[in-house]
Structure 1
Amino acid sequence: MKIKGIIFDFGFTLFSFKNPSVEKYFDCFKRGLLKSIDILKDKNVLEDDDELVKDFVNIFNKKRANSFRLAMKTKDEFPTTLLFRTVLTILKEKGYNINYDSIEDEFLEEMAELYHSCEEDEWKPFDETKATLEVLSNISNLKIGLISNHPNHKTIQNMLESNNLQHFFDVIVTSAKFGKRKPNPDIFLHTLKKMGLETHEAKDCIMVGDEAADAVGANRVGMQ
């Protein structure tokens, strides 16, 4: 049987997170959020008010935790851009002076990118990642894709680009952009379609990942 496509997971499959721990993840998020808040104040979206900043951080962290729990349950994704917009809306409804004229999609994407920027610094490719992708990319007619459960598409792109790996992939799909998380079969079918493969060709494709969501989702669409 000829393999027509191979799809990789991102975290702990192609990239590793140095000394991972819950505390380290939260520290990354905390530092990233402070960066975002600084820009919000510089752009006059938020006033430089201690009570406002405290409320912003508390609401953001609660909404982030709730969104994550809901995403785990429903397999719907809640992008970080949506999280920022939701929190700013809540603060405005609470009576804070929020400058909505400065809040456009591109600005929210910038906030999300800053929020995840400290996380970007921690993820590094495994030693074998580049060599493996180089070998696979030299196989004639083999399509290479990536699916990542991540709430910000640009963060995954940035990490691939900063390590000069993006050119190995025919398709890069994230739950942030697609709206569904693995193991939802739709994100696998969507990726196969973008790779130029039909649904019935899933049996000729391999999923490489480190979690049950990778194996279960791939199995549901007939991948190996």
Structure 2
Amino acid sequence: MNALPDSDIATVYVVAHDPAENDTLCAQLTDVGLRARGFTRAAAFLASERSAGPACVVLDADLDTPGGGLLLQDALTDLQDPIPVVLITDRADVTTSVRGMKAGAVDYLTKPMPEGVLLSAVGAALALDRQRLGRERASTDVIERAQRLSQREREVMALVAAGRMNKHIADELGISEVTVKIHRGNAMRKMEARSFADLVIMAHKLGMTSPALYHGGIGRNRRELA
């Protein structure tokens, strides 16, 4: 499923085999400013292109397909698709609800659902997806900033984050403490770190805190970079 260039307007995908029910649910969602797209078949949803903003699926657990809607939920898990799922059903089935919730459903609603209950569940699902997207964007930003670092700045950042003092870093790299401080300052500026703790957190996100990384990789060219 390819992401389309899009805004951050939330999209709710409704997957229910009854076209009339599908239309009703989509209308309820669009009435509150959400974008809604309906599907009557699981395969059509899986083959569809996704918007780039936050999203969730309102999935009929009684979907008219072998295994019902839970089979689609399992397929999303197998595809490592993180989109949150709200399950809806015509019957209160404890076994189905337990299975769906264990598989990660945000909620399990029994029809007919008051509109407020559906919107509350959808709101919770979209909030989860917004949080996920925020984490992904933050990680991407950190990676892009790290690409600005020189090899020596990466070395210093990794060793600082591993708990090394400036003097020890200077000894390991064969440079002066003053040079260590310069590289450390450059790393903080390029990483846009607001504090030393912020720099360490970024290093952890990048996996730059292991001394083995320094000894096995980033430190191997120390003589050329001194």
Please give the range of the TM-score, normalised by the shorter of the 2 chains: under 0.3
Higher relative contact order (CA 8 A, sep 6+): 1
- TM-score, length-scaled by structure 2: 0.27
